[in-house]
Every structure is written in structure tokens, then in C-alpha cells.
Amino acid sequence: MKSKISIDKLLLSPYDHSSKLAHVYPGFELFTGRRDFIRFGKQKRLAVACSLSRDDDERTESATLRFTIRRVSDGYIAGSRDVSVIFNCGESLVPLRADIFLPAAAVDGLADYEVTAARAGNDDEVLCSAPIRFFANGLMPGRFYTLRRAYVAVDGIDSRLCTYDAAIHDDVKVEMVFDIEENPDVPQGIYPELYTRLHLPDGRMIESRADVREIFCSAKQVRIEVPADASGAVYAELCCFGYPVMCALSHGLGPDMEGEIDEELCRRILDYDADMGLRKVVGFYDVREADARRRNSGADARARLDRMVGLDDVKAHIDGYMKLTRFNQLRAKAGLKTCTAPLHSLFIGPVGTGKTTVASIMGELLHEAGVLSKGHVVVRERSTLLGQFYNSEAEKTLQALEEAQGGILFIDEAYQLYQPEDPRDPGRFVLEALMTALADESKRDWMLILAGYPEPTKRLLEVNPGLRSRIPETNFYNFESYSAEELVEMAGRYFKYNDFELTPEAHAALDRLLRTELAAAGDDFGNGRHVSNLISTRILPSMAGRISAMSAPTGADLRLVTEADIPQPIVKNCPRSRRIGYVA
């Protein structure tokens, strides 16, 4: 008794000597399920892929399968191939590929053909069949279809911009829609098949065929339903003859995101191909990731600014400037005139008050707001701007300006560039180069921050009217010295961030130490820098010496800072005053 053999479906793909199917066997992953193909002149064979199953797997059995391609209109056989199949004992499913010799000259363009798989014998029992058509070379999709536009539809509502509550995505039907029209010059019934590919952010690709007859009998639309679990950007392709001929890219289906079709990708692209589509998808995701990084960077930058101890006036000043920037952007979007806010600024304050750190944060905030294209910070000072040769300072300044394009040029201790007692001081060439750059209206994608002590830095602007006009007083950011409470808070945050814990006695000793040192400090006190140096060069080495004397310190020992680790305040001894006279 012969086992009953069955075939679910046939997958077809003509190929030539340069095709992947000519060099990969069996290559089942290369079959797409298409039925319409262009008849290329170099075509040599038709590959047929299928899976054979039988109802009895208790014995080894052989069978011969006959694959035939014939013209439907008159039964003309264009090609045939017999293939022997062996089912081993215990094997009920066998994948199979058969290649039929089928040169381009053996088939007619626009004729209907049928491929059959039959069990060879007296009656040639047909197990499965599949239609196939060949279109003449040069008849690309534009010959048959007019592709109009693409958009998102939510619950059947079509719009170019369609927003909805992503939290109830499970309860709504989201579709990518392609509008197409048939070409009236083409006879009815010979339109090539269309199919769609839906690319999802998680890597899935969903492919489906579109019934052309049903499309033209109804709304002339190809609609692709987006799975309810899709979140993020969704990319859809409308394909014909194996080529994507139109694409649509949703700008995101997820929380706080809009379902939107990219205008650039909606238009019909005559030379569109799969590689181009892939480049557009990759480019889109790169842009989306960059935007996400920019948004996250802006949020992180704002959080870092808020976490900085003190600087209340600076934070309020930055907040006001960002609100003004946002206000101007809203007016520009509404088609109203805007008054550009001055960008170049003065950071004035003693050392260790966070001027460089705030400049870095401000760069990220301005980049997030779209004011600066990059937001990076280039730090320079007098010693790095003066050249090896006299009058080469301008060249080094221009180099720094070029490096800072799209971001911030931060010049620390900028007042040192002005030495009025030396008429030949090379710092004046740096100032002249800066003035030239500030006056160039064609290059506005950069920001200058001059930083330094209050009085000498303000005096630099007073003697340079050009600088003064470019940096108005509203852009003066005043960095005040930290109070004793702020220094103690700063030290506490440092320890907490680096996985240390202070005992109450250690905290009290640290408070006394910082208050004493601040009271005795001069104008060169390092503020935050002093706290950092105190911890790294005095407290932690002292703690390390104490821990090293332990035979087996625990994790808690390695974290706990004790009073013994805090140095004693050093009080400078003042000479005693001598009393003259009698003691009563």
C-alpha cells in the first residue's frame, strides 16, 4: 500500500545564472510566494519549493514527483521535471526543491500558466497547483498602476496626520493605507499582483498579498493593518514584481507619539528599490535615535543643573533664557516675526563655582532647543590661544572658532587677554579675531562665553566696546561663592554618589572643618574645587590608612567614613599682644 502524499502549497521563483538561487541550495528562504514575474532575457530555470507530507511513516518509501508548467489557454507544456523522493522510516515531512529548465523563450508574456505537482503513475494524480504569469521585460509597475499617496488610518478615518491615545491601541484599528489607480490604457485583467511588507521596530517583517481585483472593485486602496503590539516607527512597502514601488513610514505608534506618514516617503519614487528603502529606514531610525538622545540629553542636562548645589541666580537666568527661546520658536511656527535673543554671554565668579560645568549643561540645553546644532563645548584660555610666533594668535583663535562651530567656545580667565600695560601684548590679536567672528552675521551657529573673576572680566568689556555690544548685561551670569552650608551639602552629595556613608560624628567634624577653612579663606579660595581636593587628598587617604590596619575589613567598613578620617581644622596662630603696665 502506498502512503498518501500531500502538498500544502508551491513556491515559485524563476532565476538565471547570476541569481542567488543558482548558487544556494535549497535556499528556501529566498522564495517569496509571488506569482507574477518579469520575463528577463537571461532567465534559465524555474525553481519550485514545497513540503511533502505522508499519512504513514512506519516504513521507508520512495515516490516520484512530476513538476509541470503548462499554458492555461491550450495546455502547452513549457517545461517538466521528475524528482525522486525517499521517505525514511519515521519521517513524515520532506522539504523539496525542483528546478525546471525554463528559458525566457519558452514562455509568452502576459499569458497565464499553471505549475502542477503530481505523483507520477498511471493517472498522474495532481497534488497541488499554483498559477504563474510572465510579463514582458520593461513593463514595470508604473505601466499598470498610478500610485497616489499613503497615510495612516485609525478606525477607518483617513488623514495625513492622525493622532490617538496609544494607551487604547488595543481597542482601535490602525492601518497604513496606499491609494492606487489602474492605468486606463491597460486591458482589464492583466494587472500584476501587489503585495505588502510591514517592518516593525522589533525586527518582525509581515508580508501579505493584495487582491488586485478586490482593490479595483472597491476603494482602490491597499490597507495594511498594524498589529496592536507594535510600538515605535512602522515602515510599510508596496511591492510589485519583487520591487518596493512605494513606501510609507509612520513616525511612531506608542505612548505620547503620533501616527504620521513621512511626507518625503509618500511621493512616488520612479527609481525606488529595496536598497533605497533600507537606507531610508536606517536613516530614519538614526534620526529618531538622535532625536531621542537629544531629548534625553536635554532632560538629563536640566536634571544635572537642578542637582548642582546653590547657583540659584544662574539657574533662574538660564530658565528665563530657555523660556524666551521657546517663545520665539512658537512665534516663528505661527508665522510671526521674532526678535532673536542675544546668545554670547559672560560667566563671572571666583574659581570652583561651576562655570565650566554650567557651560557644558547650557550647550546641551541649547542643542535640545534647536539653537545650536551640536552643543559641545571647546575650552580655551590665554596660554592655549597664544601662538608660537608673534601674530600667530589669530590663526589659533580661528582654529578654535572652527572647532566650536555648532557649540560653545568657552574662554576661561578671559580678562588675561587684555594687558593694557603692554602695547605689544599678543592677546590683542585674539580679541581682534573674536571681534571679527562676532561681527560675521553668516555664522550664527556658535556661542562665545567669556569667564573669569567679576571685576577684571567686566573691565575687559568696558575697554572693548565691540565686545560690550555683543554681550549685553542681560547675558551676565553671576556665579556667587558657596556658603558654608552649601559646601557641606556638596561634600555630602559627593560621598553619597560614590557609595560612602558618614557617621553623625564625621558629618559634624566635616561641618566644623569647612566652616573654619571658609572663615579663614582669602580671595583664592577654591569653593567646590576645594571640597573635591579636600576629599580626594586628605579625607580618603586618611580613611585608607585606617582601613589598611584592619585584618579583614567588611563592605560596611569600606563605606563608612568616621570622625577619625576628618582632618582637624588648622587655625593660624596670631601673635599674642603684650600687656604693658601693672597687674592688679
Which pLDDT value is given to residue 462?
78
Enumerate the domain spans of the chain: 5-136, 141-289, 308-478, 484-565
- C-alpha 77/C-alpha 106 separation (Å) is 9
Which pLDDT value is given to residue 164?
34
Q: Which segment, 138-147, 191-200, 201-210, 471-480, is predicted with the most confidence on average?
A: 471-480
Task: Examine the pLDDT at 501 and tell me if it is beyond 60.
Answer: yes
Mean pLDDT of the chain: 77
- C-alpha 45/C-alpha 32 separation (Å) is 16
By CB neighbour count within 10 A (0-12 exposed, 13-18 middle, 19+ buried), where does 504 fall? Answer: exposed
More confident residue, 198 or 15: 15
Q: Residue 39: left (phi > 0), alpha (psi -120 to 50), or beta?
A: beta
DSSP of 269-332: -TT--HHHHHHHHHHHHHHHHHHHHHHHHHHHHHHHHHHSSS-HHHHHHHHHHHHHHHHHHHHH
Q: What are phi and psi of 413, to 5 degrees?
A: 50, 50
DSSP-derived secondary structure letter, 170: G
Contacts of 221 (CB under 8 A, 6+ apart): 177, 178, 179, 180, 215
- Are 311 and 358 a contacting pair, CB within 8 Å? yes
- Please give the CATH superfamily to which domain 308-478 belongs: P-loop containing nucleotide triphosphate hydrolases (3.40.50.300)
Is pTM beyond 0.75? Reply is no
Task: Examine the pLDDT at 268 and tell me if it is beyond 70.
Answer: no
Total Cβ atoms within 10 A of residue 491: 23
- C-alpha 484/C-alpha 527 separation (Å) is 10
Q: Which helix (H) or strand (E) holds 65?
A: strand 61-71
> Is domain 484-565 classified as CATH 3.40.50.1470?
no
Task: Examine the pLDDT at 67 and tell me if it is beyond 90.
Answer: yes
- In this predicted model, what pLDDT tens digit does every residue of 412-437 receive, in sequence order? 888 888 776 776 777 777 887 888 88
- In this predicted model, what pLDDT tens digit does every residue of 401-415 receive, in sequence order? 888 888 899 988 888
Task: Examine the pLDDT at 126 and tell me if it is beyond 50.
Answer: yes
Q: What are phi and psi of 470, to 5 degrees?
A: -85, -20
5-136 is classed in which CATH architecture?
Sandwich (2.60)
Tell me if domain 5-136 and domain 484-565 are identical in fold.
Answer: no
For residues 137-166, b (16+ Cβ closer than 10 Å) or e, as one string? eebbbeebbebebbbbbbeeebeeebebeb
**pLDDT tier for residue 108 given thresholds of 50, 70 and 90:** confident
Q: Hey, what's the cell of 323?
A: 523660556
Q: Hey, what's the cell of 414?
A: 578671559
- In this predicted model, what pLDDT tens digit does every residue of 55-65 receive, in sequence order? 887 888 888 99
**pLDDT tier for residue 308 given thresholds of 50, 70 and 90:** confident
Task: Examine the pLDDT at 293 and tell me if it is beyond 60.
Answer: no
Q: Hey, what's the cell of 82?
A: 521528475
- Are 94 and 52 a contacting pair, CB within 8 Å? yes
Q: Hey, what's the cell of 88?
A: 525514511
DSSP-derived secondary structure letter, 386: S
- C-alpha 363/C-alpha 300 separation (Å) is 12
Strand partners, 114: 70, 131
Residues of the chain with pLDDT > 90, as a percent, come to: 10
Which pLDDT value is given to residue 269?
45
